[in-house]
Amino acid sequence: MKKLRVLVAMHDVLVPPPDAESLPAKETWDYQMELDVLRGLRTLGHDVHVLGVGEELKPVRDAIADFVPHITFNILSDFHDVVTYEAHFVSFLELCKQPYTGCNPRGITLAGDKALSKQILAWHRIPVPAFAVFPLRSKTAKLPRKMTFPVIVKSAVQHGSAGIAQASVVHDDRELAERVEFLHRTLQTDVVVEQFLAGREFTVSVLGNERLESFPIWELWFDKLPEGNESIATSRVKWDEAYQQRVGLRTGRARDLPADVEQRIHTIAKRTYRALHLSGYARIDLRMDAEGRVYVIEANVNNDLTPGEDFPESAQSTGLDYPALLQRVLGAGLAYKPAWKVD
Ligand SMILES: Nc1ncnc2c1ncn2[C@@H]1O[C@H](COP(=O)(O)OP(=O)(O)O)[C@@H](O)[C@H]1O
Ligand SMILES: [Mg+2]
């Protein structure tokens, strides 16, 4: 394997301190992915440089000019605290003719917008729940006729379950108007409202550019969900460890899916990846309705790569260990052909 100069771009506040390797896991939690990616890349024998990205672009240019990386391993997820600027940072790398891991700017923008992405998927006849958009400045929120309660109310652009709680699932116009107003006020983004799908939740990890590989279907379960709660990944489910234990959160390979359903889920995930022009790697979230029909909820580009998270776990279940997965991510990044590279 060729030894590469790899520049790892991450938030400056998430750059692991020099003694990070000797700290207990609960102290490194905030920058666990950064730490594990660095360790994994070093295990592979690459020449690794850390680039902490803050408010300035000049240090990025300087690092590219001085270190001459073969590739930038991009784990930066926003810029100036604006989540949609994630795409702009990658555009900057492309303008510097710098190869990078993960998704291209167009894919990031399309997948990052839960309204726009569903419009595109629907056009491709990829199943998505019925949805409506309530722009930030809109005053009224009434459910369109084609939809029925219950529905779930979400930010159009935030991820990581920001603004997702049990109260996101609403049952009448009053609850809907309240939740939409709450998200507009607290998150300052457009809001999407989707048909609530009461069944199982899956995620499929996909890797590649033109030729795609998908890893085994991963499922999310709750063993001890309190009576009356919906089985959804709220922000507490995602981020609050004590709560995860209380509700008996588990993830793992989806079981008992008929072979044709399994096949269909992989196909939907790959079609979604292509329809949204994704590259590098991504995780496609899906849910089943009460009748067993499968729908795409969203595509997560540049998803969490922390060991133990769905993408690395699902890859690991096929025998691909963590450094090998990072090597595959590098490989996809090097193989991707942005406009400046095409001859
Ligand atoms: N249409 C839906 N029906 C049922 N549950 C949903 C639906 N949309 C989202 N959810 C639940 O909310 C969670 C977060 O929604 P998602 O669209 O994936 O946003 P995020 O980008 O914050 O992960 C999902 O993992 C799922 O549990
Ligand atoms: Mg999600």
Per DSSP, helices labelled H in 157-277 are 173-187, 235-239, 241-246, 259-275
Mean per-residue pLDDT, 273-283: 98
Cα–Cα distance, 312 to 205 (Å, whole number): 9
In this structure, the number of other CB atoms found within 10 A of the CB of residue 21 comes to 11
What pLDDT score does 67 carry? 98
Mean per-residue pLDDT, 208-230: 96
| Placement of tokens 């899906």 in the chain | 286
Q: Which residues contact 291 (CB under 8 A, 6 or more apart)?
A: none
What pLDDT score does 24 carry? 94
- Contact (CB, 8 A) for 180 and 134: yes
Q: What percent of the chain has pLDDT over 90?
A: 93
Q: Convert the pLDDT of each residue in 60-104 to its tens digit.
A: 999 999 999 999 999 999 899 898 899 999 999 999 999 999 999
SS3 assignment, position 203: strand
Q: Convert the pLDDT of each residue in 242-251 to its tens digit.
A: 999 999 999 9
CATH architecture of 5-100: 3-Layer(aba) Sandwich (3.40)
Please provide the average confidence, as pLDDT, over all residues in the chain: 96
Cα–Cα distance, 8 to 321 (Å, whole number): 20
- Contact (CB, 8 A) for 247 and 225: yes
Cα–Cα distance, 166 to 274 (Å, whole number): 32
Geometric angle at alpha carbon 168, from 86 and 130, rounded to 5° = 80
pLDDT at 343 over 80: no
Q: Would you list the domain boundaries of the chain?
A: 5-100, 130-195, 198-339
Question: Residue 184 phi/psi, 5° resolution?
Answer: -55, -45
Strand partners, 218: 203, 253
**Distance from the alpha carbon of residue 28 to the mean position of ligand 1, in angstroms:** 27
Q: Convert the pLDDT of each residue in 99-158 to its tens digit.
A: 999 999 999 999 999 999 999 999 999 999 999 999 998 888 899 999 999 999 999 999
Strand order in the sheet with 151-155: 131-134, 191-195, 151-155, 169-170
Cα–Cα distance, 17 to 20 (Å, whole number): 5
What pLDDT score does 105 carry? 98
Cα–Cα distance, 163 to 286 (Å, whole number): 19
The conformation of residue 284, written as its DSSP 8-state character, comes to: E
What pLDDT score does 245 carry? 95
What pLDDT score does 190 carry? 95
CATH architecture of 130-195: 2-Layer Sandwich (3.30)
Task: Please identify, by atom number, the ligand 1 atom nearest to the C-alpha of residue 232.
Answer: 27
Task: Please identify, by atom number, the ligand 1 atom nearest to the C-alpha of residue 198.
Answer: 4
The candidate with the shortest Cα–Cα distance to 122, out of 333, 304, 306, 296, is 296
- 118 ligand 1 Cβ < 6 A: no
pLDDT band at 320 (very low <50, low <70, confident <90, very high): very high
Tokens for 52?
A: 């902490």
Question: Residue 207 phi/psi, 5° resolution?
Answer: -135, 135
Whose Cα sits closest to atom 14 in ligand 1?
Answer: 161
What pLDDT score does 159 carry? 87
What pLDDT score does 226 carry? 93
What pLDDT score does 290 carry? 86
Q: Convert the pLDDT of each residue in 206-218 to its tens digit.
A: 999 999 999 999 9
**Distance from the alpha carbon of residue 33 to the mean position of ligand 1, in angstroms:** 23
pLDDT band at 253 (very low <50, low <70, confident <90, very high): very high
**Integer Rg of the chain from CA:** 20
Tokens for 283?
A: 């995780």
- 201 ligand 1 Cβ < 6 A: yes
What's this model's pTM, rounded to 2 decimal places? 0.96
- 113 ligand 1 Cβ < 6 A: no
Whose Cα sits closest to atom 2 in ligand 1?
Answer: 196
CATH topology for 198-339 is: D-amino Acid Aminotransferase; Chain A, domain 1 (3.30.470)
- 35 ligand 1 Cβ < 6 A: no
The candidate with the shortest Cα–Cα distance to 279, out of 205, 215, 212, is 212
The conformation of residue 100, written as its DSSP 8-state character, comes to: B
- What separation, in Å, do the N-terminal and C-terminal C-alpha atoms of the chain show? 26
Q: What percent of the chain has pLDDT over 70?
A: 100
Question: What type of residue is 126?
Answer: I
